[in-house]
């Protein structure tokens, strides 16, 4: 599957005007957030790179960079980071809600506490950060909110039900918001990355999973995980996601969703092309899942 280049997205370059535009990105300590911060800096933007624990050495720029603390589960930390960004650069034009955590395991074995933790970060954290930036964008009558969901927002995958639910919530939130904020001059975009085995995301959730696959699921989980190893070159990279985030941030059109990475683009095409039953049959084959027997 061909990788979409940044040019394959219809985008306009906001950052090439005389006054650099400013982007605030959550979760810049690694993965897609860090890759996106680097791309915006390379394209001449001011970047407010936020992290739970600021690590300025990760990014190589002085004048157009502010590395500052932001924990999306802490409303006062969100407000303070936005204030610091505005104090430093005068305004924020784009916010990228990228911070997120994964969780892998059978739904029945996923502890309530884990479900809540996933929602606190991936859903409530995004909603709180969005609510905090809207008044600033609304006063200026412009700006773009980019929410990073996942290809599971296109094609839910097994054994990540809580994670999928947290991202589906943001798919709906964003689509609703796109209507609500459009007349105020604010754009809303969704970037849907495919699976990227190289960020911390996969290693973080891999640590949890052995306890969360009860014996009854072991064969299926084994087939599913083996199927994910089959075509490693078709997975998503940080550069794929940074390019999609940048395209979404600089777009002047009404496009809402940006699948990022070859696996996500392929799933979006399948979803568009096939009726639901045929689509789900394809996913079952892909992941080694079976339908319930006809008699039950």
Ligand X SMILES: NC(=O)c1ccc[n+]([C@@H]2O[C@H](COP(=O)([O-])OP(=O)(O)OC[C@H]3O[C@@H](n4cnc5c(N)ncnc54)[C@H](OP(=O)(O)O)[C@@H]3O)[C@@H](O)[C@H]2O)c1
**Residues at the contact surface with ligand X, assessed by CB under 6 A:** 26-27, 29-33, 51-53, 70-73, 98-102, 121, 125, 148, 150, 193, 195-196, 199-202, 204
Q: How far is the CB of 215 from ligand X (least distance, A)?
A: 27
Q: Which of 163, 217, 224, 246 is catalytic?
A: 163
Contact 205, 187 (CB under 8 A): no
Q: How far is the CB of 277 from ligand X (least distance, A)?
A: 25
User: Considering beta carbons, is residue 144 or 264 the nearer one to ligand X?
Assistant: 264
Q: How far is the CB of 97 from ligand X (least distance, A)?
A: 8
C-alpha–C-alpha distance, residues 224 and 226, integer Å: 5
Q: How far is the CB of 241 from ligand X (least distance, A)?
A: 7
C-alpha–C-alpha distance, residues 254 and 145, integer Å: 13
- Torsion angles phi and psi, residue 17, rounded to 5: -75, 175
User: Considering beta carbons, is residue 130 or 199 the nearer one to ligand X?
Assistant: 199
User: Considering beta carbons, is residue 137 or 242 the nearer one to ligand X?
Assistant: 242
Is 246 among the residues known to form the active site?
no
185 backbone φψ class: left, alpha, beta (φ>0; ψ -120 to 50): left
User: Considering beta carbons, is residue 14 or 147 the nearer one to ligand X?
Assistant: 147
Active-site annotation, residues: 163
């Amino acid at each position: 599957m061909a990788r979409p280049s940044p040019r394959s997205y219809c985008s306009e370059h906001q950052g090439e005007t005389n006054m650099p535009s400013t982007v605030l990105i959550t979760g810049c300590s690694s993965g897609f957030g860090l890759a996106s911060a680097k791309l915006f800096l390379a394209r001449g933007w001011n970047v407010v790179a936020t992290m739970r624990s600021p690590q300025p050495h990760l990014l190589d720029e002085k004048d157009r960079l502010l590395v500052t603390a932001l924990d999306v589960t802490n409303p006062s930390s969100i407000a303070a980071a936005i204030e610091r960004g505005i104090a430093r650069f005068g305004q924020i034009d784009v916010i990228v809600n990228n911070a997120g955590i994964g969780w892998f395991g059978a739904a029945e074995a996923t502890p309530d506490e884990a479900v809540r933790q996933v929602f606190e970060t991936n859903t409530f954290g995004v909603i709180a950060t969005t609510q905090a930036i809207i008044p600033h964008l609304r006063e200026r009558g412009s700006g773009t909110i980019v929410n990073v969901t996942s290809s599971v927002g296109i094609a839910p995958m097994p054994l990540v039900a809580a994670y999928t639910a947290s991202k589906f919530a943001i798919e709906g939130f964003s689509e609703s918001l796109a209507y609500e904020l459009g007349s105020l001059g604010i754009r809303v975009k969704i970037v849907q990355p495919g699976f990227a085995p190289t960020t911390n995301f996969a290693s973080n959730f891999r640590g949890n999973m052995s306890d969360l696959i009860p014996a009854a699921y072991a064969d299926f989980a084994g087939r599913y995980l083996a199927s994910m190893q089959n075509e490693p070159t078709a997975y998503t990279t940080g550069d794929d996601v940074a390019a999609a985030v940048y395209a979404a941030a600089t777009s002047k059109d009404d496009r809402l969703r940006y699948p990022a990475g070859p696996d996500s683009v392929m799933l979006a095409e399948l979803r568009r092309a096939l009726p639901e039953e045929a689509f789900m049959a394809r996913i079952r084959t892909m992941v080694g899942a079976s339908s319930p027997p006809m008699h039950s």
